[in-house]
Amino acid sequence: MAERKVMERNDELIQKQYVYIDKVKEITAETVNIEGRQPTYEVRVFGCQMNELESEQLSGMLDAMGYTKAAPGEPADVIVFDTCCVRENAEEKIYGHLGLLKPAPGDKKSIVAITGCMMQQPHVVEKIKKSYHHVGIVFGTHNLYTFPELLYKHLTQKKRIFDVWDSEGQIVEGTPITRAEKVKAWVHIMQGCNNFCSYCIVPYVRGRERSRKKEDIISEVKRLAGTGYKEITLLGQNVNSYGNDLGRKDAFADLLYALNEIDGIKRIRFTTSHPKDLSDSLITAMKELPKLCEHLHLPFQSGSTRILKEMNRKYTKEQYLELIDRVREAVPGISFTTDIIVGFPGETEADFSDTLDVVRKVRFDQAFTFLYSKRTGTKAAEFENQVPEDVKKERFQRLIEVQNSIGAEINKTYEGKTVEVLVEGKSRNNDAMYTGRTRNYKLVNFTSSEDVTGKLVQVKIVKAWPFWLEGMVVPEGETS
């Protein structure tokens, strides 16, 4: 009964937006009639994969409203920023972009709209109100799906619209989406985070954990398979908590078993996992499910148990290492990637040595390394023993050197081997090459005389570069 109510409410919320989509479409149709051109849009996305996915939803709404994507470098009629605030430098970059868009007198004005995590912070919205008058629409992460309504109001009332909700509502199904890729697709399975790691702003700007219904996820993945997608990546701030809010135990593993059955989908990935929640049922699923790829992104953040406690991560260095061993044993050949923060308040040289120790012991294929950034509103921002910038930077440099040489050594072991690659298309940097990834997430650029986009092919690796592998396709039927 409660579930039916949520569904009815969902239909009501989304149908209202489709009414606004039609209304904006009438306005864009006028531009086509009068100016003989379709109005254009650009979506600029900053931050994580969740934002990438949401920028595809923003594009989907704009396409449905009669806009078309602007050619690269062309000024667009509507520019939407999907912002990130996880570190200070992300915010600075966005202010920089916004500043450059301030129109000179007499310039044709674009409509500038901003959404995303950064807008969930009241002090940021105040700053935009006061200092960035060319920004016409501001909305947050909880009401992304109301963009058609806000754009319509802005277009018809000719005034600035500020609409940021301070608490999360239900996840709304049915928002239009224009996906950037044709072979692999992001699928969000949950929103929000309950963990409150002491450095992290995400729980404040994304709200508490809310899971999508299993049936909704399955239908979406079936639709993707039906339109030719081969790989899906399930997204959530902490995917291992999937279903906790629905009162289900082992719901994430259960979901993976169901998705593994969908014809057409060849590979399944997921991110991000929290070490404290990585369950035995998930390890078993990784061992048993043929479509689940042999790669795990498992942020450890710091190797020091003392710092991990200060970070509120709820595991020790030893527990993390033990977890890695268990996963490795269950899934031979699995690759690990991770996130690491350097210079958390109070981090000593000994703490940092523990971080290096974990990096050396685990031998990650890749690590995303970050300088600790103080985020207003988080617990750690109040800690007094902040590490000086120069110390942080020096440790950061050392960490990168250690990790880069490990990554390069791992890559070197691939030379001469043949690997299975799911081909995503032509390489962005080199038109003569195709690009794709192995099951364990190695980036491979390779030559092929045929267009193999969307196919699973065998590629012989001829050279290992520090961050990617170079190869040539092995023609079907030939063994290497």
453 three-class SS: coil
* Among positions 339, 357, 394, 420, the unique one binding ligand 5AD when judged by CB under 6 A: 339
* 277 in contact with ligand 5AD (CB under 6 A): no
The radius of gyration computed from the CA coordinates of the chain, to the nearest angstrom, equals 23
* Among positions 142, 267, 313, 375, the unique one binding ligand 5AD when judged by CB under 6 A: 375
Q: Minimum distance between the CB of residue 195 and ligand SF4, rounded to whole angstroms? A: 4
Instruction: Record the tokens describing residue 409, joined without a space.
Output: 């050594």
CB under 5 to 8 A by kind: which of ligand SF4, ligand 5AD, none does 238 bind? ligand SF4
Nearer to ligand 5AD, 17 or 271 (CB): 271
* 444 in contact with ligand 5AD (CB under 6 A): no
* 196 in contact with ligand SF4 (CB under 6 A): yes
- Mutual angle of helices 214-226 and 251-260, in 10-degree steps: 30
* Among positions 193, 235, 251, 327, the unique one binding ligand SF4 when judged by CB under 6 A: 193
In angstroms, what CA-CA distances link 400 with 29, 362, 391? 52, 15, 14
The candidate with the shortest Cα–Cα distance to 143, out of 177, 104, 170, is: 170
Task: Please name every residue paired with 159 in a beta bridge, in sequence order, or none if there are none.
Answer: none
With a CB cutoff of 8 Å and minimum separation 6, the contacts of 146 are 17, 139, 163
**Distance, CA of 176 to CA of 57 (rounded, Å):** 6
CB under 5 to 8 A by kind: which of ligand 5AD, ligand SF4, none does 372 bind? ligand 5AD
CB under 5 to 8 A by kind: which of ligand SF4, ligand 5AD, none does 196 bind? ligand SF4
Q: Minimum distance between the CB of residue 189 and ligand SF4, rounded to whole angstroms? A: 15
SS (H, E, C) 234-302: EECCCHHHCCHHHCCCCHHHHHHHHHHCCCCCCEEEEECCCHHHCCHHHHHHHHHCCCECCEEECCCEC
Candidate ranges 120-128, 163-171, 189-197, 282-290; the one touching ligand SF4 (CB under 6 A): 189-197
* 87 in contact with ligand SF4 (CB under 6 A): no
Q: Up-side HSE of residue 75: CA atoms within 13 Å toward CB?
A: 11
Residues that bind ligand 5AD (CB under 6 A): 86-87, 199-200, 299, 301, 339, 341, 370, 372-373, 375
Residues that bind ligand SF4 (CB under 6 A): 193, 195-197, 200, 202-203, 237-238, 274
